Structure 1
Amino acid sequence: MAGLMDELITVLTNECEEYRKLAKLSEKKKAIIIKGDIISLQEITDKEQEITSVILNLENKRESITEDVAIVLNKDKKDLKLDNLIKLLENQPKEREALSQVQRNLRSVLYDMSRLNKQNEILIARSLEMVEFDIELFKSMHQAPETANYDKHAENAGVHLREGSFDSKS
């Protein structure tokens, strides 16, 4: 059992380190989004995908270890959340403290990740709004404005002025 706990603690510690890497990339991403540097944003996204792949592998390993612990303890795997495992380790203070520390570290880094992701989400949404505004502005610059030009029946004839042209007839 102690070997399984050590292995679980190692996997969770590695997972925490990978999340820290993601958090650092999210910090960099924030500055890149503000600058509007699309190429650097793509590079960061590629790095994030690599780290996410490592995290997924660690998650699979953690699941496997948790299944082994459930078999050893004769418990349902669903009941073996970190809080429950920590409680079950009351006779193993070293493993209990190590697991508690990893849990605190994971909570902290996941909180940071959540906060950074929300900030980046807002920045991206604002950037998209600005792009849409720019597109609409660009479109409107290339459309001729309709003048209030009425015909003899008092209906708008819908004459469009073009750049460089002036109609002096009324």
Structure 2
Amino acid sequence: MASLLDELILTMDGERSKYEKLINLNGEKKDSIIHKKLDVLEAITIQEQAIADSLLKLEDKRAHLLKSIASVMGHDGEQVTVSWMINNLANQPVEQERLTVARDQLVKAADEVQVLNFQTQNLLKQAIEMVEFDITLIKSVKQAPQTANYGKDATTTGEILGNIRFDAKQ
């Protein structure tokens, strides 16, 4: 049981470490979005995907370890969580404390990643809005004013005009 608990704590520390890598990459990601460095953003996204894949493997390993620990403790078939483990280790205060610290650090890192992802999502929305604004602005430069471009039925057509130039030679 002690070796399973040690492996669980190591797995949770590994997850926390991966979350911290995501936190560190977030600053570079924001910078690449702000400065429109798409090649850097693409590289960061590839790194994040690799980290997410390894996090998924660690999460599966943690779930498997929790099932193994539950089986050893005679709680086979029950839904066992880390918090449940902490509550059931009341007679082993050292292990209980180690597991509590590992859980708290993991939760803190995961929460920070969630907040940073929300901020990045908002930043990306703003960047998309700016691109849409730029596209609309570029389109509107080629359009005649709505009051100056009428069709046969006396309504505005909103057609895009070609390159109309003023002929200075007369």
Query: TM class by shorter-chain length?
Result: 0.7 to 0.9
- Which secondary structure does the structure 1 equivalent of 2:144 belong to? coil
- Which secondary structure does the structure 2 equivalent of 1:80 belong to? coil
Unmatched runs of 5 consecutive residues or more in structure 2: none
Quote the RMSD (CA, aligned, Å): 2.6
1:164 aligns with 2:165: yes
- The residue aligned with 1:90 is 90
- The residue aligned with 2:18 is 18
Specify whether residues 92 and 140 from structure 1 end up closer, same or farther in structure 2 by C-alpha distance, changes over 3 A only: same
Specify whether residues 31 and 86 from structure 1 end up closer, same or farther in structure 2 by C-alpha distance, changes over 3 A only: same
Alpha-carbon deviation of 1:143? 2.5
Alpha-carbon deviation of 1:61? 1.1
Alpha-carbon deviation of 1:47? 0.5
Specify whether residues 142 and 12 from structure 1 end up closer, same or farther in structure 2 by C-alpha distance, changes over 3 A only: same
CA contact (8 A) 1:147 1:158 kept: no
Give the aligned length: 165
- The residue aligned with 1:143 is 143
Q: Could you give the per-residue CA deviations for residues 3-48 of structure 1, whole angstroms, max 9, x where no partner exists?
A: 1111100111111101110111112211221112111100100000
CA contact (8 A) 1:27 1:116 kept: no
Measure the CA separation in 1 of the matches of 2:145 and 2:9: 68
Query: What TM-score, normalized by structure 1, do the two folds share?
Result: 0.85
Specify whether residues 127 and 78 from structure 1 end up closer, same or farther in structure 2 by C-alpha distance, changes over 3 A only: farther
Q: Which moved more, 1:31-40 or 1:125-134?
A: 31-40
Q: Which moved more, 1:108-117 or 1:124-133?
A: 108-117
Query: What TM-score, normalized by structure 2, do the two folds share?
Result: 0.85
Unmatched runs of 5 consecutive residues or more in structure 1: none
- The residue aligned with 2:33 is 33
CA contact (8 A) 1:148 1:158 kept: no
CA contact (8 A) 1:146 1:158 kept: yes
Q: Could you give the per-residue CA deviations for residues 35-82 of structure 1, whole angstroms, max 9, x where no partner exists?
A: 121111001000001111111111121121111112112225553211
